[in-house]
Structure 1
Amino acid sequence: EIGAAKILQQNNPGLYVSVTTAGTADGTGWFGKQMLLEAKSQGFTPNNFSIMPFDGGFSGAASQTSALTNFNTILQSTFGWDQATAYAHEGFSGMNGRSDTGEYFSQADFQTVLDYATSHHMDRFTFWSLNRDRQCTPADNGGRTSGTCSSVTQNSWDFAKYSVKFAGVTPPTGTPTPTPTPTPTPTSCKTAWNASAVYTAGDEVSYGKHNWKAKWWTQNETPGAAEWGPWQDEGAC
């Protein structure tokens, strides 16, 4: 994977490359450290290495910022970077609300880690995941972790706003008004398809309230009857 990422980086100047690995109280575990050593041996430097400080005995923001501090030390020792350079190549990927192992990370925890990330000029701040950034019913989801809501009391998109702030943008204070979908102008139907007629490439007909265009010579082949048939669906009419 490191080799593949290096190739992508080399072949696509300006491509943003972030490598995410597990987080532990020490920063990252044996597998994460082996990954860093592999990156060093290949001379690969992405925009950042990020850790996920959750599902590992974490409890709130203090344990997460401690892990980020320890991970910074690992980056320094592995690549020979000074502290500021290591932070400039470090990222955070959290989990909003209740984690898989029952840890809880509130909006206040996200704010604390955001303050840490911005004050140390880290390169990335994100979370797992946007589709969980809404309140469950009931709010605590019966003490369970959900893949579609956070299991904590919140307004929709509360946690996403911290990523928006990290990007240097002021998040909206309310829910945006959705742009109405314009009503499509109905398309008139072509002459009805006739089973006995001969059609050649480009001829247009209507069948089943859709317009169809012939891709080649055809006769008595019902439009839409075969996926790879002679008729191209041009949409409803």
Structure 2
Amino acid sequence: MGRFDGRRLSVPRLAILVAIVGGLTFAGTSSWRHVQDAQAAGSHGAAWYAGYVDATVTPLYEFEQPASKAARDIVLSFVVADPDSACSPTWGGAYSLDAASDDIDLDRRIARLRQAGGSVVVSFGGAANSELSTACTDPSQLVDAYTSVVDRYDVRTIDLDIEGPALADAAATQRRAAAIKALQVARAKAGKNLRVWLTLPVSPQGLSTEGRQVVAAMLEQKVELSGVNVMTMDYGGSRAKDQTMLDASTSALTATHRQLGQVYARAGQDVGSATLWRRMGATPMIGQNDVPGEIFSTAAAKGLSAFAAEKGLGRMSMWSLNRDRTCGANYPDVTVVSNSCSGVDQGAESFAALLRGTMTGSPDSTEVTPVVGGRAGGRDSADNPVADDPATSPYPIWSADETYVEGTRVVWHRNAYVAKWWTLGDTPDDPVVDESASPWRLIGPVLPGEKPVQVPTLPSGTYPAWDQGAAYRKGERVMLRGTAFVAKWYSTGVSPDARATQNEPSPWRQLTDAEIRQAAAAASADTD
């Protein structure tokens, strides 16, 4: 006999049963998908915040001394092609990798930040100059160029900021994707991972066609793409007149989320919604944007941070830490973008802290560079200072009997310091002296394998000898006992090497190594 012998299942009952079974099936599938989303999102680690730092703009931003946890992790910008050598990486077209180490102590400052627990992401590209893949057309040399940067700074996360003409360069898009894939494979063979983020311009309607193609190229090359960071800034005509900067930004992120779902699906990677949010980031331009009338306020920063927390955004950045402060009263027109201030009244707030919000992760999940000498601070112990060796120190060893003027660099206990003003007999690492009162600023540790820096010199007579009876205006240069100085303001009768203090600073500044090299090159050209 049949199981339902003596009973008939009516058509209405059958419909109800089918609906119940179907609902249970959908609910089970949906719940499982949510579990998969959560597991995948969690596998990418905690969401992280890191502000961009323009490495070459003056005045230099001292990222190696983070003032807060929000300033501890940075995206160092920008590595671009050398204008005179397409396959040679430079910082901003101004410094080769070696010159950046010699002239602005970049390697040492990175090491110092890592001692303080920070992480460094290196960003390639940007709005100005040429991203490496657009200028360097030789595939193997392009791989070598990217590799030289990643290896030199031992970075575990890179950022590819593709905008402007580079965005529409289809050939460069393919070269870049192939080179990054080769780089990831090589790093993996060496037992080192490499996280790759794309940073792309966006409108409130989402990514452009070219932007989506840049993402698709990476996925086609099987690059392990950590995520896509969109520049929620400079909307121009794409933003409606009644649309706030916050609304434009959340609209841009929502539209990009939908678009990326389609791009990943076409690449055979049908990821869930939560995973996709985790693979996205946002980077607003704080305060006054490049587009007149576009102002990203501290209130907008709070709103964007709340949106990121709600959606589970994987990354937050900003342009830039250099600008995260209220402009001073001597900056007359805040509607003109400054490299050193935001253009809005921030009060006691920092955009970095507001945008970081509840994000507690780091761009790198593992230690990047071990502390030099085994301990932070450059000592084996308080009673056993590390010995300084002139043969392996980039700068002269500090001496209590030597006079040092502003800008002089020395080594003491395997750390490099720069003089903030005239000093004699002040120990660079005196633990009882308040940092603001010390004439020395810690740059960072002496790095393994370093040799003495060849300090450039100028021929005698390059500039007039300093004359006690002469009056000097700002910008004038003189020489004293073979050292070149430049006047910071009008002075007369004050020797460039005369004693100066924090309260009574010297009107003279010693020329930097970069300035000396430029002067020497100009002098050489004049004699040819």
Q: TM-score range by the shorter chain?
A: 0.5 to 0.7
- From 155, 177, 185, the equivalent of 1:10 is 185
Q: Quick check: 1:55–1:99 contact (8 Å CA) kept in 2?
A: yes
One-letter amino acid of the structure 1 residue matched with residue 256 of structure 2: F
Residues 148-176 of structure 1 show CA distances to partners (whole Å, capped at 9, x for unaligned) of: 1111001476111134435328xxxxxxx
1:82 is aligned to 2:290? no
Match of 1:100 in 2: 290
Question: Secondary structure of 2:309's partner?
Answer: helix
Match of 1:68 in 2: 253
CA distance in 2, matches of 1:56, 1:30: 16
**Compared CA separation, residues 226 and 96, structure 1 to 2 (3 A):** closer
CA distance in 2, matches of 1:48, 1:226: 47
1:149 is aligned to 2:337? no
Measured after TM superposition, the shift of residue 11 of structure 1 is 3.0
Question: Secondary structure of 1:94's partner?
Answer: coil
One-letter amino acid of the structure 1 residue matched with residue 228 of structure 2: F
Match of 2:304 in 1: 113
**Compared CA separation, residues 140 and 226, structure 1 to 2 (3 A):** closer
- From 175, 196, 204, the equivalent of 1:25 is 204
Q: Quick check: 1:60–1:104 contact (8 Å CA) kept in 2?
A: yes
Unpaired runs of at least 5, structure 2:
1-175, 266-270, 362-396, 403-454, 459-528
- From 162, 168, 182, the equivalent of 2:360 is 168
CA distance in 1, matches of 2:206, 2:276: 13
Match of 1:230 in 2: none
CA distance in 1, matches of 2:350, 2:195: 26
Match of 1:125 in 2: 316
Q: Quick check: 2:326–2:347 contact (8 Å CA) kept in 1?
A: yes
Q: Quick check: 1:133–1:156 contact (8 Å CA) kept in 2?
A: no
Question: Secondary structure of 1:143's partner?
Answer: coil
**Compared CA separation, residues 142 and 132, structure 1 to 2 (3 A):** closer
One-letter amino acid of the structure 2 residue matched with residue 117 of structure 1: A
Measured after TM superposition, the shift of residue 187 of structure 1 is 5.1
TM-score relative to the length of structure 2: 0.31
Question: Secondary structure of 2:312's partner?
Answer: coil
Match of 2:365 in 1: none
Question: Secondary structure of 1:127's partner?
Answer: coil
**Compared CA separation, residues 92 and 166, structure 1 to 2 (3 A):** farther
TM-score relative to the length of structure 1: 0.67
CA distance in 1, matches of 2:254, 2:457: 61
**Compared CA separation, residues 122 and 7, structure 1 to 2 (3 A):** farther
Unpaired runs of at least 5, structure 1:
170-183, 190-223, 228-237
Q: Quick check: 2:334–2:344 contact (8 Å CA) kept in 1?
A: no
Question: Secondary structure of 2:199's partner?
Answer: strand
One-letter amino acid of the structure 2 residue matched with residue 26 of structure 1: Q
Match of 1:232 in 2: none
One-letter amino acid of the structure 2 residue matched with residue 60 of structure 1: M
Match of 1:186 in 2: 399
The aligned length equals 179
One-letter amino acid of the structure 2 residue matched with residue 84 of structure 1: A
**Compared CA separation, residues 188 and 4, structure 1 to 2 (3 A):** same
Measured after TM superposition, the shift of residue 116 of structure 1 is 1.2
CA distance in 2, matches of 1:63, 1:110: 13
- From 328, 345, 348, the equivalent of 1:137 is 328
